[in-house]
Structure 1
Amino acid sequence: MLTLYYMPHSCALASHIVLEEVGAGYRSVLVDFRKEQQRKPEYLAVNPKGRVPALATGRGVLTETPAILAFLAQSFPEAGLAPLDDPFAFAELQAVNSYLCSTLHVAHAHRMRGYRWADDPAAIAEMKRKAPQAVGEAFALVERELFRGPWVLGERYTICDPYLFTLAQWLEADGVDPAGLPKVAEHRRRMAERPAVRRALAAELAPAD
């Protein structure tokens, strides 16, 4: 049994969607950031980074979205969510997810979590002011260079799609107009119609016990 540690409206949604897509047996555990549960000893024993997602497996705990998504694709090859038989194509997939993780998501984080990089309130305010431009430029590159259509990598739906969808959920809050990203916006709309996406969203937004 796999265990996903998540917080609603976080990048953990991508892993949650893929767990649903592959039909994995799993349970989900809410890490409530509003109660600072990510800083509690109980959760730090699971993930010392104090972030989500974390995926507990029979061999240990995995962190970082690209690693979790690749693990799920490889653990459930019958789902066909990655080109596992083509090293170059799999590396291309990893390159896309790495960009989403290390550049696009970090640009978003500057709007909400500037304290990670600075203590000066003026510097934090400047990072927040700059975030719409940085996020917009990162998404523009995805739209122009990385998105092949109709899915991220072309005709095949892969683990890149839930990840892009998750980050695209935050476009408006990040001050980016989806109208300027027609491919990304249409992808977001179609992703929202997938049963696995609907199940993951419903589970994350359900009232906690």
Structure 2
Amino acid sequence: MQLYYAKGTIAIAAAIALQEAGLDHTTARLDFGNADQTGADYLRTNPKGRVPALVLNDGTVLTECGAILEFIASQSPRADLVPDDAIAAAHMRMVMYYLASTMHVAHAHKMRGSRWADAQSSFDDMKNKVPETMRACARYVENECLRGDYVLGDRFSIADCYLFIACGWLPGDGVDLAEFPKITAYLDRINARDSVKAVRAADML
């Protein structure tokens, strides 16, 4: 398998999951500064021009972070990255869908305004709103998503791969983590995992 990623993006959630699952893989780094994601070569792999993309050994291409995380978990049942309990699994997915539909979108308003508008004044307005919207996201994560040390309480899941990256954006988005002690402790806890140390050593974070 080959994971296409850009440094610091949500694609790193998939890189962490691959490490947690112990799956053999290679990586291909895209430079957003050079617009690699919109180049003809990459668009043949992922016409959306986004990361992550995971190319399987048979040539199948998977996109969308949540779908890739679910696939990775399915390939390594022993890693126990998705709970068997239906209610716990639903909470895990509720968090992941929230990140995809709300928190990631709020973050993207800072530098991807052209997805939603054309005028510079609109871009500026969206960017100025980011600290407020991301603080609201952080409050929701602090109060509703974390049910203990992790999203699922005392067990790590693919939702934590996802949430760790999203919460890592908060300081750069103008959110003071001192307001959110549970998130601060959570980030420290995930940073101490071998999977995160491995992706950091590979200069992916």
- TM-score bracket, shorter-length normalisation: over 0.9
**CA deviation map 1:45-67 (0-9, x unaligned):** 11000011101113511111111
State the TM-score, normalized to the length of structure 2: 0.96
Q: Which amino acid is the alignment partner of residue 61 of structure 2?
A: V
Q: Is the 8 A contact 1:147 1:153 kept in 2?
A: yes
Q: Secondary structure at the match of 1:111?
A: coil
For residues 31 and 43 of structure 2, the distance between their equivalents in structure 1, rounded to whole angstroms, comes to: 13
**CA deviation map 1:1-36 (0-9, x unaligned):** x10000001111110001011110000001111111
Q: Is the 8 A contact 1:7 1:204 kept in 2?
A: no
What value does the CA root-mean-square deviation take over the aligned residues? 1.3
For residues 45 and 204 of structure 2, the distance between their equivalents in structure 1, rounded to whole angstroms, comes to: 23
For residues 135 and 90 of structure 1, the distance between their equivalents in structure 2, rounded to whole angstroms, comes to: 25
Q: Which residue of 1 aligns with 2:70?
A: 70
Q: Which residue of 1 aligns with 2:79?
A: 79
For residues 179 and 68 of structure 1, the distance between their equivalents in structure 2, rounded to whole angstroms, comes to: 32
Q: Aligned pair count?
A: 204
For residues 144 and 122 of structure 2, the distance between their equivalents in structure 1, rounded to whole angstroms, comes to: 31
Q: Which amino acid is the alignment partner of residue 97 of structure 1?
A: M
Q: Which residue of 2 aligns with 1:28?
A: 27
For residues 114 and 172 of structure 1, the distance between their equivalents in structure 2, rounded to whole angstroms, comes to: 20
Q: Which residue of 2 aligns with 1:204?
A: 203
For residues 205 and 134 of structure 1, the distance between their equivalents in structure 2, rounded to whole angstroms, comes to: 26
Q: Does 1:145 align with 2:169?
A: no
Q: Does 1:45 align with 2:44?
A: yes
Q: Which amino acid is the alignment partner of residue 45 of structure 2?
A: V
Percent identity between matched residues is 44
For residues 138 and 56 of structure 2, the distance between their equivalents in structure 1, rounded to whole angstroms, comes to: 32
CA positional deviation for 1:204: 3.2
Q: Which amino acid is the alignment partner of residue 116 of structure 1?
A: R
